[in-house]
Amino acid sequence: MANLINLERATVSFGTRTLLDGVSLGVDEGDAIGVVGRNGDGKTTLLQVLTGTRQPDSGRVTHTSGSSVGYLRQSDDFAADATVRDVIVGGQPDHIWAADADTRAVVSHLLGGLDLDSEVGNLSGGERRRVALAAVLLAGHDVLVLDEPTNHLDVEVIGWLAGHLAALRTKALVVVSHDRWFLDAVCTRTWEVHDGSVDAYEGGYAAYVLARAERMRVAAGTEARRRNLMRKELAWLRRGPPARTSKPKFRIQAANELIANEPEPRDALALQRFATRALARTCSTFAACSSRSASRINPRVAPLLPAAINPRVAPLLPAAINPRVAPLLPAGRSSTGSTGRSGPAPGSASSA
């Protein structure tokens, strides 16, 4: 099959986010490709790069000489005074464009009940979207690139559009859609855009889901084997070498390469100290805000306070004080609550 569009190491970034990172792919004659991915992952950006409406930050895009590309954007740019007839059939009268069966089918299904002599500027958003889709379908392009063509279409029209695209005499089709049935009915290949890369799968949406699940299962197994090997190599590195021998350098290097991308182990003591300091700051802020309503402090909060209690918080604590905090309180507070009532300190012999 002849290559119609080729993308080589294309990179596109918005600010600090990279949507396409060195992507290389191609559109060949006979392809019907569905593009899937999460919102904001770069599906529309990929179509813009393929059609040449946006240049990549690096890399290049090449089109076969003499091939035309029709692109259905998510927004239109019609002239304000243009009519529907001007946009879809170049202003031809009815007796001329109606002589073609394909044109009649497109107009009747997409623009049924719409006056062709009405100005596009007076149409609703859904009607303008249908006009744009009809114009792309009737232009006779070699490659069709459609961004969400099923928007503003009912179920019957979506079914007709799927059949029309399957029978259309175009060399290639690239379509973005969230309609899973439509992708299964139209596409023979699937591209998944995610994390700056594009993964290719054979088949429609259902085949893509199965293949992706299998690929994830294989990747999980590979990662599990890698981690198991890493544990063994680390255990081997920790062992001392036998007498009058040394550890092979090639194995030490292989073990270091295996763990090169692993993050540093967390210091549990440092994390605990950080959490204690953060909680102490929170308690200090709480004390400053609650100095006028000390009697309203929730008794269930007291056991959660850290051992290194803030001196400004101590006078606000209730009688049911945490035993670990009591020794840190000012004199006379370990046995007296915030309401002024006296009582035995928790954990004392009298309370026992």
Q: Do 161 and 291 share a structural domain?
A: no
Tokens at 202, concatenated: 């054979």
Helix, strand, or coil (residue 121): helix
Domain assignment present for 66: yes
Place of tokens 């308690």: 283
Domain limits for position 19: 3-212
Q: Is 106 exposed, middle or buried (0-12, 13-18, 19+ CB in 10 A)?
A: buried
Closest CA to 13 of 264, 196, 255: 196
Taking Cα atoms as reference points, which of 29, 302, 281 lies closest to residue 173? 29
205 and 92 in a common domain: yes
Residue 153: inside a domain: yes
Please count the structural domains in the chain: 2
Beta-bridge mates of residue 191: 35, 200
Whether residue 70 is found in the same domain as residue 196: yes
Whether 37 and 106 map to the same domain: the answer is yes
Q: At what angle do helices 249-258 and 205-238 cross, to 10 degrees?
A: 140
Q: d(Cα 352, Cα 223) in Å, to the nearest integer?
A: 55
> Residue 279: its pLDDT value, please?
77
Q: 306 and 198 in one domain?
A: no
Q: Three-state DSSP class for 189? A: strand
Alpha-carbon gap, residue 3 to 23, rounded angstroms: 17
* Strand duo 197-202 + 189-194: pairing: antiparallel
Residue 240 within any structural domain of the chain? no
Does the pTM exceed 0.85?
Answer: no
247 within a domain of the structure (yes/no): no
Please give the sequence-ordered ranges of beta strands (E in DSSP) within 29-106, or none if there are none.
32-36, 58-63, 69-72
Closest to 132 in 3D by CA, of 87, 79, 85: 87
Tokens of 171: 């060399």
Cα separation, 88 vs 90, whole angstroms: 6
Are 27 and 172 contacting, i.e. CB atoms less than 8 angstroms apart?
yes
Report the alpha-carbon distance of residue 91 to residue 163 in Å, rounded. 27
Say if residue 67 is in the same domain as residue 191: yes
The verdict on 102 and 208 lying in the same domain is: yes
Q: Is 128 part of a structural domain of the chain?
A: yes
* Residue 190 and residue 54 share a domain: yes
Angle formed by the axes of helices 155-167 and 101-110, to 10°? Answer: 160
Classified as helix, coil or strand, 62 is: strand
Does residue 190 sit in the same domain as residue 282?
no
Residue 73 lies in a domain: yes
The pLDDT value given to residue 281? 74
352 falls within a domain:
no
Q: Assess whether 180 and 304 both reside in one domain.
A: no
**Spatial distance between the Cα atoms of 98 and 94, rounded to a whole number of angstroms:** 6
* Strand, helix or coil for residue 95: helix
| Of 348, 299, 301, 300, residue with least CA distance to 323 | 348
Q: What is the CATH number of the domain that holds 180?
A: 3.40.50.300
Q: Convert the pLDDT of each residue in 148-174 to its tens digit.
A: 999 889 999 999 999 999 888 788 999
- C-alpha separations of 208 from 23, 36, 266, 298, 315 in Å: 19, 10, 38, 54, 64
Nearest to 326 by CA among 299, 297, 303, 349: 303
Torsion of CA 222, 227, 229, 234, to 10 degrees: 160
| Alpha-helical runs (H) found in 141-264 | 155-167, 180-186, 205-238, 249-258
Q: Say whether both 73 and 199 belong to one domain.
A: yes
Q: Give the separation between CA 192 and CA 187, rounded to whole angstroms.
A: 13
Residues 34, 166: one domain? yes
Q: Which residues of the chain have pLDDT under 50?
A: 292, 294-295, 307-308, 319-320, 332-352
> What is the predicted pLDDT for the residue at 248?
74
Report yes or no on 239 lying in a domain. Answer: no
Residues 29 and 205 sit within 8 Å (Cβ to Cβ)? no
